[in-house]
Structure 1
Amino acid sequence: MTEPLLLRQDVDQTAKLTLNRPERRNALSLSLLQELLTALTELENDSKIRTIVIGANGPAFCAGHDLGEMVDRPEDEYRDLFETCSRVMQKIRQVPQPVIAKVRGMATAAGCQLVAACDLAVATQDARFATPGVKIGLFCTTPMVPLVRAIPAKAAMEMLLTGVPISAERAVELGLINRVVAENELDETVQQYCNAIAATSAMTVRVGKEAFYRQLSMPESDAYKDAVDVMTTNVVEADAQEGISAFLGKRAPQWTQK
């Protein structure tokens, strides 16, 4: 049997996770979700890894949950499936490294959720995004969570209520993805993001990513209070002082903090 998830750690400080169930349109089986969770948990403690890229083999990025696992099962098995999927999506937000979705083809239901949960996303021109659960009697409630945090509420409701796919161009307009590129530009564009992040301080990125997601659920006044605390503790760190000194001295910074 082929491995449902492939992991490659490149010399450029990038870990590449590849969904490898092309015959099932990379549907998120429970075993694939468990492997994703394990891989992300291991990578979050690897200081050599600066970025994580999630891609897929085959013509589709991810068709969502594996419906073959969702017929005539006891309720506790369904709960375990949805809870495991939710842990994966939350782990993407919790790891210190930025996670980038590299999307070709369709990303539907929990596959669209996976894209929405990633910090950045790049897609090819043929990519499509949908939350079509309503068409089979199962509202995309868990995919809704990161979706409505990535795009405006009315647009999210349109996707959730109709199940109609949106184009990559529309996904960019809404903020679901960052860039739409030609097929032959996808790898290079993702690599450009990885290179830009690798050139920064790992400590600074870690602090910033954590603060970004924490403040999303705060009232504005509380968010500012938290931001002041973060910037105050950040500015006295060695890498911040080095970065400021390097800028003033018109030289390249030498980062030392993980």
Structure 2
Amino acid sequence: MLRAEGPHFCAGFDMTGALGHGQGELLLRMVRIEQLLQRLRRAPFLTVACVNGKGVGAGADLVAACTHRIVEQATTLRFPGLRFGVCLGTRHLAALVGVAQARAVLLNAHEVDADEAARIGLAAAVVDRDRQLAVARELVDATRHLDTTSLAAALALLDTGSDEADAADMAALVGSVARPGLVERLGRYLDRPPARR
């Protein structure tokens, strides 16, 4: 289960000092995020995101990667990666909510509120924060009749991904991050100049 302790779920990629890093280090950090998302999406067990407050960038991608996604009414999710030219989790989001919805969410990088998230399939339920754990337990308990091997097999059969899709996602991410000018694009997105190296 993924759950925040503070007022927000996850701000995603840590932009602190990002403009002072070289493109190679930024590439490695983003590859590690993609690897984490792929492992979470392909986990042989149920994963649940209990989301409060904001989920931004890789934080929103973490939500989308989970089997079950429970949000509170005040939740907003935003996927701004294309604003600085980074393709992260794009194919999975399209498989989850449909190509047209994913296109609208990604190209506009607008905040998806809880009601929209539920409407498009990005959230399974909108639940008050104090009830999220109980609802998460109910979702997990509903599969208690399955042994771990059967559950893993069912999740694998229902998974829209594949080794080929994961490799294509990684290639798209690497290509987008390796394109020259990432630090400058991040600087424009953050509205501050890159640090001098």
Structure 2 Cα separation of the partners of residues 199 and 108 of structure 1: 35
Equivalent residue, structure 2, for 1:151: 97
- 1:61 matches 2:12: no
Residues 88-99 of structure 1 mapped to structure 2, 5 A cutoff: 88-99=36-47
- Name the aligned partner's letter for residue 196 of structure 1: A
SS at match of 1:197: coil
- 1:200 matches 2:146: yes
User: Are the aligned partners of 1:131 and 1:143 in contact in 2 as well (CA < 8 Å)?
Assistant: no
Identify which of 202, 212, 232 aligns with 2:158.
212
Residues 161-180 of structure 1 mapped to structure 2, 5 A cutoff: 161-180=107-126
**CA displacement at 1:217 relative to structure 2:** 5.5
Greater fraction of residues in strand: 1
- Name the aligned partner's letter for residue 32 of structure 2: T
SS at match of 2:77: strand
- Give percent identity, aligned residues only: 22
Structure 2 Cα separation of the partners of residues 113 and 148 of structure 1: 12
TM-score (norm. length: structure 2): 0.76
Change (3 A) 1:139 1:157: farther
* Aligned positions, number: 162
SS at match of 1:141: coil
- Name the aligned partner's letter for residue 142 of structure 2: A
Equivalent residue, structure 2, for 1:113: 61
User: Are the aligned partners of 1:109 and 1:140 in contact in 2 as well (CA < 8 Å)?
Assistant: no
- Name the aligned partner's letter for residue 138 of structure 1: F
Q: What are the Cα deviations for residues 161-204 of structure 1, in whole angstroms up to 9, with x where unaligned?
A: 22210111110111111111122321211111121223322221
User: Are the aligned partners of 1:54 and 1:101 in contact in 2 as well (CA < 8 Å)?
Assistant: yes
Q: What are the Cα deviations for residues 11-32 of structure 1, in whole angstroms up to 9, with x where unaligned?
A: xxxxxxxxxxxxxxxxxxxxxx
Equivalent residue, structure 1, for 2:178: none
TM-score (norm. length: structure 1): 0.59
- Name the aligned partner's letter for residue 24 of structure 2: D
SS at match of 2:71: strand
**CA displacement at 1:140 relative to structure 2:** 4.7
Give structure 1 regions of 4+ aligned residues with deviation exceeding 6 angstroms: none
Equivalent residue, structure 1, for 2:20: 72
User: Are the aligned partners of 2:56 and 2:79 in contact in 1 as well (CA < 8 Å)?
Assistant: yes
User: Are the aligned partners of 1:123 and 1:179 in contact in 2 as well (CA < 8 Å)?
Assistant: yes
Structure 2 Cα separation of the partners of residues 82 and 88 of structure 1: 10
User: Are the aligned partners of 2:10 and 2:54 in contact in 1 as well (CA < 8 Å)?
Assistant: yes
- Name the aligned partner's letter for residue 22 of structure 2: P
Whose relative contact order is higher, 1 or 2, with alpha carbons under 8 Å and at least 6 apart? 2
- 1:86 matches 2:34: yes
**CA displacement at 1:69 relative to structure 2:** 4.0
